[in-house]
Amino acid sequence: MNEKSPAIRWGVEQRLEFIEFRLFWEGGINRGDIIEMFGVSVPQASRDLAMYQDTAPGNVDYDKSAKRYVPSHTFRTRFLRPDPSVYLSRLRVLGEGLSRPEDSWVAHVPEIDVAVTPHRIIDTEILRSVLTAMRERRSLDVCYQSMNTKRPDPVWRRITPHAFGYDGFRWHTRAFCHLENRFKDFLLPRILEAGSFGDPVALGDKDTLWQEYVGIEIAPHPQLTDSQKKVVAKDYGMSEGSMVLRVRNAMLFYALKRLGLLGDAEKEDARRQHIVVVNKTDVQSALARSEIIEFNTEADLLEGRNLGEP
């Protein structure tokens, strides 16, 4: 139902949402949970629980033996939007070591593991400089290490960053490159130094590839059985056998790569590649516009032509 009262202060409402999170996902809550999470007093925790019962009457019962509040058989969410993706994302950041258990709202953390990817080191001050340039709409001198054979050594260049991109493994900044007079992607770990700020040449509203969106229509691999196609469709939330993913043209290459769709997916083994692109002509045309299809080597393909590489 998720009906929130505008009269409840944000801090209190956050605690009420926490109460409901524990009731919904963990099966119960007591005063000590609120005290431990928010550092409030015992009377405040009691008031929070009383307020929750007043605003969501009939939602909880008190289990005397366990000395905690548990969801009633008529329980309905009022402050929480239960979303498996949100809950599992909390487990993911725990599994990756990016959050402490006490910050995740999850009391009983199940045993989890996450496929290991190397941690990419990003310099704190360099990130601050890039953020400052974005916020103040300025350009920034950076010393960037390209993997291009024409520039094997670090080169100072001026960029005007306007956005961040993440491909599932690496963070980059989307920026106008003053050296090459075009918008490109620059991996944050490859920015070795940040220098002075200056005037911009082009801002994000001029970045056509960033502003332009492309629809990738995906469907189950044609070689799957009917029952397998149904479960793939359910897995991806497809309607009538397909769905459209809306992505920025500047992120199209990364999206296709992550989904295993850069090549001809229909020629791949359906047991490993479960989805294919339906509108292949449109997607390839968009990929051509993004100037990422002209690779000389497999290494170039894996790096991505516009990751700061001319």
Centre a 10 Å sphere on the Cβ of residue 42 and count the other Cβ atoms it contains: 11
**What pLDDT, on the 0 to 100 scale, is given for residue 9?**
61
Q: Most distant CA pair in the chain: distance in Å?
A: 73
> For the segment 111-168, what is each residue's pLDDT rounded down to a tens digit?
888 887 888 899 999 999 999 999 999 999 999 999 888 888 999 999 999 999 999 8
- Alpha helices for 137-221 (secondary structure H): 208-211
Q: Which two tokens stand for residue 153?
A: 């050594």
**What pLDDT, on the 0 to 100 scale, is given for residue 290?**
80
User: Which of 49-58, 85-94, 112-121, 150-159 bottoms out in mean pLDDT, i.e. has the lowest?
Assistant: 112-121
What is the three-class DSSP state of 105?
coil
pLDDT band at 283 (very low <50, low <70, confident <90, very high): very high
pLDDT band at 267 (very low <50, low <70, confident <90, very high): very high
pLDDT band at 295 (very low <50, low <70, confident <90, very high): very low
Please check whether residue 216 is in contact with residue 261, taking contact to mean a CB–CB distance below 8 angstroms: yes
**What pLDDT, on the 0 to 100 scale, is given for residue 10?**
67
- Alpha helices for 78-220 (secondary structure H): 84-95, 124-136, 208-211
The beta-carbon contacts of 96-103 under 8 Å, at least 24 apart in sequence, are 102/36, 102/37
Alpha-carbon distance 190 to 145, whole Å?
A: 5
Picking from 245, 257, 234, the residue whose alpha carbon sits closest to that of residue 304 is 257
Please check whether residue 249 is in contact with residue 207, taking contact to mean a CB–CB distance below 8 angstroms: no
The rounded Cα 167 to chain-centroid distance in angstroms is 9
Amino acid identity, position 98: L
pLDDT > 70 fraction of the chain, expressed in percent and rounded: 90
**Sheet-wide strand order for 275-277:** 243-248, 213-220, 275-277
The predicted model gives 19-46 an average pLDDT of: 95
Cβ within 8 Å of residue 128, ≥6 positions away: none
Answer whether residue 4 shows pLDDT above 60: no
Please check whether residue 243 is in contact with residue 236, taking contact to mean a CB–CB distance below 8 angstroms: yes
Helix (H) or strand (E) holding 257: helix 252-258
> For the segment 218-247, what is each residue's pLDDT rounded down to a tens digit?
999 999 999 999 999 999 999 999 999 999
**What pLDDT, on the 0 to 100 scale, is given for residue 303?**
46
Mean pLDDT score across all residues of the chain: 89
**What pLDDT, on the 0 to 100 scale, is given for residue 235?**
95
